[in-house]
Amino acid sequence: MITNSVFVLSKNGKILKPTTPVRARILQSQSKAKTLKLFPFTIILDKEVDENVEPYLELRIDPGSKFTGMTLVDLNKNEVVWAMELEHRGLAIKMDLIKRAGVRRSRRSRRLRYRKKRFDRKKPQGWLPPSLRHRLLTTQTWIKRLLEVAPIKSIAIESVKFDLQKMETPDIEGIEYQQGTLFGYTLREALLEHWGRECVYCGKTDVPLQIEHINAYSNGGSDRFSNLTLSCEKCNQKKGDKPVEQFLKDQPEILQKIKAHQKKSLSDAAAVNSTRKAIFEMAQQFGLPVISGDGASTKMIRIKSGLPKAHWIDSSCVATDQIVKLRICQPLRVTCTGHGTRQVQRVNASGFPAIASIKKNPMTGKKEVKLVSKNQKYTHATAGDYVVCTLLKDRKHVKSGIYCARVKTPTQKGVEVLISGHRIAVDRQYIKLVHRDDGYEYSFTAISTDLLRFNAI
């Protein structure tokens, strides 16, 4: 089997053993079951089942900064039956907060109505920044969803703590941990001495020098010493937020000098360190046994099992000492997209109100279009919903047929959907809503040839 198992519920809502996609299609074709959820795919039987299924699956989680791997493993066989990779949007949240803070400060300087300063607020115990709390909440959401449809017996989570200073300076020891990079210096003095009191881009001396971010702050760059350099005002303005590789593409020697100074960002490791305890404590709230695993054991089991590196494969090797077997090699890929905005009136690039031709939902700020179903009831479709659409004739880039696609933009006559990367307009009578936008985008990862060789399909 290549794809994930299908979750099964009885008519009275009892959780049954997951089945294969082939068996699920047979049950649906015989009108013995119907689709309950599309993601994760779940069917519900048309009759009640008295059988009590003892929990036999373990939910294994590999929390990460940008991706979190989740797998359901049969404890009797140590075999993966379902897997997914969850892609977070922490960086996008951080950039949105920076942008919002800039707008708020500009309103204060213009003496307009604004929210009062609240710099003296005390953060509660266990507080996490929004970009990190997002990782915790999305992981919690998917644990809840899986507990509703799968017979889960326990939860295993990889809990890793990184030594950030050791990662940056492998030979650090003793009192050097307390001194740091700027020991005995201010930031500007350290930069002036390190870069020889000259503009790193043009080499000018005896001119006012400005502190310059190698990787622009607007692109996620940090204020660490290794991401800072010195430049004159002209070079600083000319570079802007361009990547340093693009700005110095004709000056390879200077680029090599800057790259030697620039060290790998530790933001991902810091994010994992900050959320590891919170995720473990959150998992304990569900009343199931929670097991903690370490990164070294996970890597050892993955190598012993002969499996390639992947987030969902790492999660399947958490907190076990047995060889892991795979029944699948194409996990579900879930990307966090957010729920839009509550802002009712948008503005254009010039700051003027943008006129919308489609009615917006005042709660979500999303455009809506009414779809007519067979029983003449109206259903609202918004951007992000999944629909089944029928194309009666060939389009410029897409052939006629039946497609499951995601709504891009509602129109007066129907919706525009994305099919193979192309925007296709479809009338409302040829559309059927199958999955509401829930803040996630769903797809399947490409099948790895290494897994095909390993997997006994």
Nearest of 64, 67, 60 to residue 83 by alpha carbon: 60
Evaluate whether 146 touches 86 at the Cβ level (below 8 Å): no
Task: State the pLDDT at residue 369.
Answer: 53
Do the beta carbons of residue 210 and residue 187 sit within 8 Å? Answer: no
Pick the CATH number of 182-261 from 1.10.30, 1.10.10, 1.25.40, 3.40.1010: 1.10.30
Q: Output 188-197 pairs: Cβ under 8 A, ≥24 positions apart.
A: 190/225, 191/225, 191/228, 191/229, 191/230, 192/230, 194/261, 195/229, 195/230, 197/230
Average pLDDT score over residue span 372-391: 69
Q: What pLDDT is recorded for position 266?
A: 84
Q: Is the dihedral of CA 100, 121, 65, 172 positive or negative?
A: positive
Domains of the chain, residue spans? 7-45, 57-90+131-163+268-336, 182-261, 368-438
* Mean of the per-residue pLDDT values of the chain: 85
What pLDDT is attached to residue 357? 41
Interatomic CA distance for residues 45 and 29, integer angstroms = 12
Quick one: tokens of 345? 């009136």
- 127-184 confidence digits (pLDDT tens): 999 999 999 999 999 999 999 999 999 999 999 888 888 887 788 888 888 877 777 7
Evaluate the CA torsion angle 397, 403, 405, 407 in order and state its sign.
positive
Q: What is the pLDDT of residues 87-140, one digit of tens each?
A: 999 988 988 888 777 777 777 777 666 666 777 778 888 899 999 999 999 999
Instruction: Say whether the peptide bond before residue 40 is cis (omega within 30 degrees of 0).
Output: yes
Q: Are strands 401-410 and 386-391 parallel, antiparallel or unpaired?
A: antiparallel
Asked if 66 contacts 90 with a C-beta cutoff of 8 angstroms, the reply is yes
**What is the pLDDT averaged over residues 201-216?**
91
Average pLDDT of the residues in 72-88:
95
SS (H, E, C) the chain: CCCCCEEEECCCCCECCCECHHHHHHHHHCCCEEEEECCCCEEEECCCCCCCCCCCEEEEEECCCCEEEEEEEECCCCEEEEEEEEECCHHHHHHHHHHHHHHHHHHHHCCCCCCCCCCCCCCCCCCCCHHHHHHHHHHHHHHHHHHHHCCEEEEEEECCCCCHHHHHCCCCCCCHHHHCCCCCCCHHHHHHHHCCCCCCCCCCCCCCEEEEECCCHHHCCCCCHHHEEEEEHHHHHHHCCCCHHHHCCCCHHHHHHHHHHCCCCCHHHHHHHHHHHHHHHHHHCCCCCEEEECHHHHHHHHHHCCCCCCHHHHHHCCCCCCCCEECCCCCEEEEECCCCCCCCCCECCCCCECCCCCCECCCCCCEEEEEECCCCCEEEEECCCEEEEEECCCCCCCCCEEEEEEEEEECCCEEEEEECCEEEEEEHHHEEEEECCCCEEEEECCCCHHHHHHCCC
Q: What is the pLDDT of residue 433?
A: 87
Q: Distance between CA atoms of 299 and 446, rounded to whole angstroms? A: 23
CB 261 within 8 A of CB 194: yes
**Closest C-alpha to 334, from 52, 48, 54, 4:** 4
Q: Is the dihedral of CA 179, 184, 187, 191 positive or negative?
A: negative
pLDDT score for 131:
92
* Sequence-distant (≥ 6) Cβ neighbours of residue 378 within 8 angstroms: 370, 371, 372
Q: Residues 159, 161, 167, 170: is their CA dihedral positive or negative?
A: negative
Give the pLDDT score at 336.
94
How far is the C-alpha of 162 from the C-alpha of 409, rounded, in Å?
43
Q: What is the mean pLDDT of residues 53-73?
A: 95
The residues that bridge with 57 in the sheet, in sequence order, are 74, 152
Place of tokens 């190698």: 214
| Side-chain half-sphere CA neighbours of 27 within 13 A | 21
| pLDDT reported for residue 88 | 95
The model's pLDDT over 409-447, given as tens digits with 9 standing for 90+, comes to: 888 888 899 888 888 999 888 888 888 888 999 988 766
CATH number of 368-438: 2.30.30
pTM confidence score: 0.81
Fold topology of 57-90+131-163+268-336? Nucleotidyltransferase; domain 5 (3.30.420)
